[in-house]
Structure 1
Amino acid sequence: MAITRRQKEVIDFLSSFTQKNGYSPSYEEIASGLGLSSLATVHKHITNLQNKGLLQRAHNRSRSIDVLPARSGKKAPTVSPAGPHRRRQARRSNRKRREHLLSDIIGNREVFALEVRGDSMRDEHIVSGDYVLVERTRTAREGEIIVALIDGSDATLKRFYREGSMIRLQPSNTEMSPIYAPAANVSIQGKVLGVLRKYA
C-alpha cells in the first residue's frame, strides 16, 4: 500500500509519541510535532490513513488515535511521490475526501460554523473570509483556539490562557496585542476544530 512521505511522518510521530507517553497525541500536538500550521491538514492526513486501514480511532474519547499493526501477509506501506496520475486520482476523489473530512471533524459533536472577520489569527493561517468549525463548549484547555464573548457582547477568536484571576486571549498576529479580561467577564462559546476556505 502506497502512502505519501508526510503520511509516513504522521505514522512515525504517532508511534514515537505513544511509545514515549503511553497515550496518543492530540491533533494540536501532531501539528506542533510535524510543523503543520493547520489542524484541518492534520485531520486530512489522519482520515486518509484511517481509510487505508493504518489507523483507528473512536469519536467518543479524546486521544484516541491508534496505529494499527501490519496485517499478516500484507506488505508494509511504502512512500510514493504524488506524481501526475496521483494528482488526477486526487482530483477525482476530492468531493469524497471533503465529505469524509467534514464528517470526521464533526463526529457526534455539536458544531457550528462562524465566518472570520479581521486578521488577528493570520499566523495560524486563519484569515478574514474563512469559516471556522467550532465545537460548542463552555470550557477549554490552555492554548486552544476558542470563540469567546467578552462582557456578554464582543465575540472574538483567540488562543485561550489563564493567568491567575485573568484570562489572556492571545491573537496570532505579531502586530496585535493580547486581550486581558477578568475570568468572570469571559464566556467561552466553543473551540475551533477546523478551518474552511472558499476559493472564488
Structure 2
Amino acid sequence: MRELTSRQRDVLEFIRAFTARQGMPPTVREIGERFRVTPRAAFDHLRALERKGALQRRAAGRRTSRALTPTDGPTGSWRAVPILGRIAAGGPLLAAENREGELPLAAAALARHGEDVFALRVRGDSMIEAHICDGDLVLVRRQEGAQPGDIVVALLEDATGQGEATVKRFLRDGERLVLKPENRALAPIVVDPGERGVRILGKVIGLLRGL
C-alpha cells in the first residue's frame, strides 16, 4: 500500500471505526459530514484510498461508497450479501428474485443470524410507520415460519401458483393469517389458508437506506 496523507489516514480510520460499529462502510455523505467537506471532496478521498490500495471495491447493486472496504481486515471479516431485487411494500408486486448485485457487510454483524441472509429492495409506502420507506433495502433472514408481530417477507400465491411478494407485519386472527401494513391509510391483507396460499420467505432483521 502506498503512503497516505494525514487526511487520508483520518478518513481510513473513520471508515474502519464506522464499519466496526455499524456493520458496513459509511456513505459518501456520512464521510463528508464527519470531515465537513462536500460529498465530491469525500468521494475524491475514497478514490485516492482505492488507488493507493487502502480500500478495495466489492460488487454492489449500485455505485456506492459502501462497496469500498478496507483491504487490511482479517480474513472472513466480510460477507457478500446478495441483493435479490425489488419487492412490494404497498400493493403486492409480482415476485421476482432478480439479483441486482451484492452488498458487503461485516461478518460479525451477521453472525447471530446464520448464513442464509439476503437483501430485498422495497417499493411503496405501506410500511412507513415502521420506518421502512420506498427504495430501502431490508435485510432478511430466510425462514419458513414467523411469530405474531414479526415483520416478514411473504409470498402470496394465486390459483395458478403465481406469487406476489410483500413486506408486512405478520399477525394471526384465529386460523386466518393477517399481513398488516404499517400505514393507517391502508387495509390489512387477510388470508384464509384454505382459499389462498401464503408462504413466509423470511423475517426482516435489518434496514439499509441510501444505497
TM-score, scaled relative to structure 2: 0.48
| 1:97 aligned residue | 21
CA–CA distance in 2 between the matches of 1:179 and 1:198? Answer: 29
CA–CA distance in 2 between the matches of 1:92 and 1:139? Answer: 36
Equivalent residues in 2 for 1:83-162 (5 A)? Answer: 93-99=17-23, 102-107=106-111, 108-151=114-157, 152-162=162-172
**2:207 alignment partner AA:** V
**1:115 alignment partner AA:** R
Max radius of gyration: which structure?
2
Q: How far apart are residue 194 of structure 1 and its match?
A: 0.4
| 1:186 aligned residue | 198
CA–CA distance in 2 between the matches of 1:150 and 1:144? Answer: 17
CA contact (8 A) 1:149 1:187 kept: yes
Partner of residue 172 from structure 1, selected from 159, 182, 201 = 182
CA contact (8 A) 2:136 2:209 kept: yes
Q: How far apart are residue 162 of structure 1 and its match?
A: 1.5
CA–CA distance in 2 between the matches of 1:102 and 1:194? Answer: 13
| 1:6 aligned residue | none
Query: RMSD value over aligned CA atoms?
Result: 2.2
CA contact (8 A) 1:117 1:127 kept: yes
Q: How far apart are residue 161 of structure 1 and its match?
A: 0.9
| 2:82 aligned residue | none
1:145-192 Cα shifts (integer Å, max 9, x gaps): 000011151101000012122110000011111001123511000000
Q: How far apart are residue 97 of structure 1 and its match?
A: 2.1
CA contact (8 A) 2:154 2:198 kept: yes
* More helix, by proportion: 1
CA–CA distance in 2 between the matches of 1:129 and 1:179? Answer: 22
CA contact (8 A) 2:139 2:205 kept: yes
**2:20 alignment partner AA:** K
CA–CA distance in 1 between the matches of 2:126 and 2:210? Answer: 19
CA contact (8 A) 1:131 1:195 kept: yes
1:124-161 Cα shifts (integer Å, max 9, x gaps): 11001100000000000011000001115110100001
**2:107 alignment partner AA:** S
| 1:24 aligned residue | none
Change beyond 3 A, Cα 1:92–1:190: closer
**1:127 alignment partner AA:** C
Q: How far apart are residue 93 of structure 1 and its match?
A: 1.8
Count of matched residue pairs: 111
Calculate percent identity across the aligned residue pairs.
Answer: 42
Q: How far apart are residue 91 of structure 1 and its match?
A: 7.0
**2:164 alignment partner AA:** D
1:198 has 2:210 as partner: yes
TM-score, scaled relative to structure 1: 0.50
CA–CA distance in 1 between the matches of 2:180 and 2:120? Answer: 19
Long gaps (5+) in structure 2: 1-12, 25-104
CA contact (8 A) 2:20 2:106 kept: no
